[in-house]
Amino acid sequence: MLTLYRDVSFKISRLVTRSYSTSFSIAVRFLKPELQRAIYSIYGFVRLADEIVDTFHDFDKESLLANFERDFYDALKHGISLNPVLNSFQETVRIYKIDDKLIQAFLTSMKTDLVKNDHCSKDETDDYIYGSAEAVGLMCLKVYTEGDQALFDELKQPAKKLGAAFQKVNFLRDLKNDMELLNRRYFHGIVEKDFDEEIKNEIINDIDNDFSFSFTGLKKLPQNSKLGVLIAYCYFRSLLKKIKRTPAQKLLEKRIRISGFQKFILFIRAYIACKLKLV
């Protein structure tokens, strides 16, 4: 019966992923089954922590996050949790030997959201992005490389750049919500200056550099994981292209989206490129 509970735990993490991110969950479906379970569990853990700091406004967020962290380490110690998402994540941490420093870096960024609204320097922005995105990318890389430490070390820097690119695109897409509802400014350049075309273009150039560097690592991923990561890569690059075409003022007024048809075309192109070994 324990096997049944383990399966249920991973299914709950999959449900969380599919409920909160249809695009990412589609990309995950192109990984081999064992990797899917692991990536769903990582996303489930990350998503719940993010929900605590971003949406649970009527509750004691600090207490909830502290309890969430405590419950995870209790699950890791005992090898089980009655929280299905934590149960699946602790199993993934054990199987793939995910470094606790990565988990702590992520939780530190989440705690930062509880006390800091503005990231006033480049170092503050970079530190937050490392914990909230790059560290998560490295957790996923531990899964993709399946115990090959040499390959993990080789792809570590490209994986960090890819995580950073994804996060910065999300920041640009969510400017309206972050600034109006959460009163947060993640980009240090817009703390003392209004967001305008000049700042937008600086940020976009930075993201383009991240994407270019990360692609060198993507091409070296094992075939079992390459297609799923490539789909996510293409999706976020498409989002960035649309953001480029959108005036800075409009980004402060609406959230940029990719239509279902556009997503379908992107996924087909990525699938063909991967199957023909063009990547």
**What pLDDT does residue 192 have?**
73
Q: Does residue 48 sit in the same domain as residue 106?
A: no
Q: What pLDDT digit, counting tens, does each position of 28-64 carry?
A: 999 988 899 999 999 999 999 999 999 999 999 999 9
Look up the pTM and report it.
0.94
108 and 63, same structural domain? no
Residue 132 confidence (pLDDT): 96
How high is the mean pLDDT of the chain?
Answer: 94
Rounded average pLDDT over 239-253: 94
Dump pLDDT digits (tens) for 176-232. Answer: 888 888 888 899 888 778 899 999 999 999 999 999 999 999 999 999 999 999 999
Q: How far is CA 164 from CA 74, 128, 146, in A?
A: 30, 10, 22
User: What pLDDT is attached to residue 180?
Assistant: 82
Query: 258 and 211 in one domain?
Result: yes
The reply to whether 61 and 120 lie within a common domain is no
Boundary residue ending a domain (96, 123, 145): 96
Please give the Cα distance from 13 to 20 (Å, whole number): 11
Domain end point (choices 39, 67, 96): 96
Q: Are 116 and 203 members of one domain? A: yes
- Domain co-membership, 212 together with 181: yes
CATH code of the domain containing 196: 1.10.600.10
Q: Are residues 136 and 167 in the same domain?
A: yes
Q: What is the pLDDT of residue 253?
A: 92
Q: How far apart are CA 231 and CA 38, in angstroms?
A: 18
Specify whether 177 is located in the same domain as 266: yes
Sorted by sequence, the CB contacts under 8 Å of residue 31 that are 6+ apart come out as 39, 224, 225, 227, 228
**Whether the predicted pLDDT of 1 surpasses 80:** no
**55 plus 25 within the same structural domain:** yes
Domain that holds residue 276: 101-279
For the stretch 78-98, pLDDT in tens is: 999 999 999 999 999 999 999
pLDDT for residue 276: 81
Q: What are 244's two structure tokens? A: 């480029």
**Whole-number pLDDT of residue 179:** 86
Domain shared by 138 and 249, yes or no: yes
Please report the pLDDT score of residue 251 as a whole number: 93
Which of 37, 63, 96 terminates a domain? The answer is: 96
> Which has the minimum average pLDDT: 152-156, 207-211, 266-270?
266-270
